[in-house]
Amino acid sequence: MLNSEYLNNLNENQRKAVLHLDGPLLIVAGAGSGKTKVLTTRISHIIKNHKAFSSQILAVTFTNKAAKEMQIRVSKLLRKEATGLPWLGTFHSISAKILRKHADAVGLKSNFSIIDQDDQIRLLKNICKAENIDIKKISPKYILAVIDKWKNKGLYPDDVVLKKKNILEKNFLNIYKIYQQKLIDLNTVDFGDLILHVVKIFQKYKDISELYSKKFKYILVDEYQDTNYIQSEWLKNLSKLNKNICCVGDDDQSIYSWRGAEIKNFLEFDKIYKNTKIIRLEKNYRSTQNILNVASKLIENNQNRVGKKLFTNQDEGEFVTLDCFRNAKDEAVTIGSNIEKLKKNYSLNEISILVRAIFQTREFEERFLKTGIPYRIIGGIKFYERAEIKDCIAYLRLVYQPLDDLSFERIINVPKRSIGLTTLKTINEFAKKNKLSLEVASKKMIEQNQIKPKTKIGLSSFLNLLEKWRKDLRNNINHNKLLQIILDESGYSKMLKDKKDLENESRLENIKELLNAMKEFDNLESFLDHVALATSLDQDWKSEKVNLMTIHASKGLEFDIVFLPGWEEGLFPHQKSIEEKGENGLEEERRLAYVGITRAKKIAKISFSMNRFYQGDWVDSMSSRFVDELPDEHIKKNNNFIDDSKEDFEFNQDIDFENEIRSPGWIRYQKKLK
């Protein structure tokens, strides 16, 4: 054996994972256990010991960033022996490479183009138009999600078996057939096709399948728990002959089922690949033992898992804190105060607030803007910069201030009123010429019959609504209620509800949070002033910033200090996840909680509120069932925990329970009492 100094920095199980080269290997790598180090060292070991040339190693990642990092690390380990890894990349990039060589097998030319999501949606819009399908009722994004789902399951249009009497899916399937043929006609593929086509080529042409299966002596796969059906089939075909496939991942961090990931690929690995060796990486290099104990105890409640027990050589560290607050505002205020104290000893860049749903960031953003704490939103847009929030604000500004031409331009055709860019340009020119506001100019042009009949109907309706809403405002209708009226009467709410996709569901949640924010102000004027000041202060600080993101977006990241607010039943675990997926959904939510906790290196703080704005109303909340599953011996509860519970209990004696809205958590709690 050659110089093996590179093995010296590995712990016992890491070393075993690197040295086991014969047959299938599943590495169960806990959070912070050094899986990337193991993968890169394993690749280096294979090359250094002449087990295979670099061109005979297939290394698959989920992101280009991960592939680049792996390439750099391998090069450092190999030093002068570095020859590059031509087959290191993502599932999609490697599939594209294979497909270019065998494009004719699926009716394509080798110079095919790869379209992105924007192009896909544009193509689907054209198809819908040709097929007389109303995209106002069925979002092309939603259709695309269904098509992607079929492709992830390895289904061409002819392979899809429809559920009986499902007219919607029948329409989708027809669109899928046309869409797929269009792609072939245009010599184009989408990302789903890259893997699907390659798998179908392997299944149809055994000689091509054997060519690559023979070529790759060793296959390594990162984040295996995130693979879907078609990716699993892809790997099975490529590992058929040499069988030296090594997959690394953590079943306890499988949180992407909504993207097609199937945890059973991981759980049934030893059934898929006979004579599998399983090695667990349980030594954690990231977190304190108390943090690991809390995370481990929580995830033990899941039934569908391989199982492992994380440990560290670090100190026990601080207890994980569990805080109870009266409401979400108190939660944000206290967390903000804690950050002010912590920043004396920690960089703000090393502090993160991880939420279950993106609408939760609003309370924190408001607080940080007020106190001057700089922050960034990772994987999302700041609250008042989100399109739907800007639309709502524009409606309110225009009702309050008729001369606000910028707001007029923004929402004149949102939702669609048959008022195109050409009409808006004409109105602008008329307004400029006659020194009028856009609204007054629109009225004058209608009076002078300068607007086309179809456009005139939509524009007149919009102008009449503006007058009606202003009358509502003069009649002292509450500003919060006014926005609800505007959203209903303008058709904006209907527009979001009619388009069935996750994005619009998120937008509706954000608008509900906006309505919550408005309740904190006495009138419309004070609210609009607040928004204006908030957005003007919302500059891009060059200094350190607190990180705000969803737990999903935090995967793969780590921070010294992690705050985990909003651990309430119905929010976390999310009610929709449980309703749609039952026990599987609950287990994925618990895995999400596990991911959140294990992002923390030194301090983890979990919290929940007894009262939260939920589905458009203030409701009593109950702590998440995950709170009940946390180990008392590693948890420190704050002083408010007992006191608030008592006070809330006494206070609630005087409430008319018949008329109160109860959260899913409250309902669950009552059932538990019975």
Exposed, middle or buried, 11 (CB in 10 Å: 0-12/13-18/19+)? middle
Instruction: Answer yes or no: are the C-beta atoms of 201 and 95 closer than 8 Å.
Output: no
**DSSP H or E run through 485:** helix 479-490
Given the residues 148, 190, 193, 222, the one annotated as active site: 222
Given the residues 148, 190, 193, 223, the one annotated as active site: 223
**Which residues are CB-contacts of 617 (< 8 A; sequence separation ≥ 6)?**
661
401 noted as active-site residue? no
Give the closest residue to 588 by CA, choosing from 291, 303, 290, 294: 303
**Which residues are CB-contacts of 129 (< 8 A; sequence separation ≥ 6)?**
135
Instruction: Answer yes or no: are the C-beta atoms of 103 and 208 closer than 8 Å.
Output: no
Torsions phi, psi for 660 (to 5 deg): -90, 140
Instruction: Answer yes or no: are the C-beta atoms of 620 and 663 closer than 8 Å.
Output: yes
**DSSP H or E run through 603:** strand 600-609
Given the residues 15, 200, 397, 599, the one annotated as active site: 599
Cis upstream peptide for 157 (omega within 30°): no
246: left (phi over 0), alpha (psi -120 to 50) or beta: beta
Our measurement of the distance from residue 645's CA atom to the centroid of its chain's CA atoms, rounded to an integer in Å, reads 33
36 noted as active-site residue? yes
Exposed, middle or buried, 51 (CB in 10 Å: 0-12/13-18/19+)? middle
Give the closest residue to 200 by CA, choosing from 184, 185, 186, 220: 184
116 noted as active-site residue? no
Given the residues 14, 15, 35, 397, the one annotated as active site: 35
Torsions phi, psi for 570 (to 5 deg): 100, -35
Dihedral angle over CA of 478, 481, 485, 491, nearest 10: 140
For residue 451, give both structure tokens: 């607007």
160/170 Cα distance (integer angstroms): 10
Instruction: Output b/e per residue, 165-179; b: 16+ Cβ within 10 A.
Output: eeeeeeebbebbebb
Given the residues 36, 276, 321, 426, the one annotated as active site: 36
Helix axes 91-101, 191-204, angle to 10 degrees: 50
DSSP 602: E
| 343-350 long-range contacts, CB within 8 A, separation 24+ | 346/560, 346/561, 347/544, 347/560, 348/373, 348/374, 348/543, 348/544, 348/545, 348/546, 349/544, 349/545, 349/547, 350/559, 350/560, 350/561
For residue 129, give both structure tokens: 């138009």
671 noted as active-site residue? no
Angle at 162 between CA 160 and CA 166, to 5 degrees: 145
Instruction: Answer yes or no: are the C-beta atoms of 57 and 220 closer than 8 Å.
Output: yes
Given the residues 41, 225, 227, 253, the one annotated as active site: 253
Give the active site residues. 35-36, 222-223, 253, 599
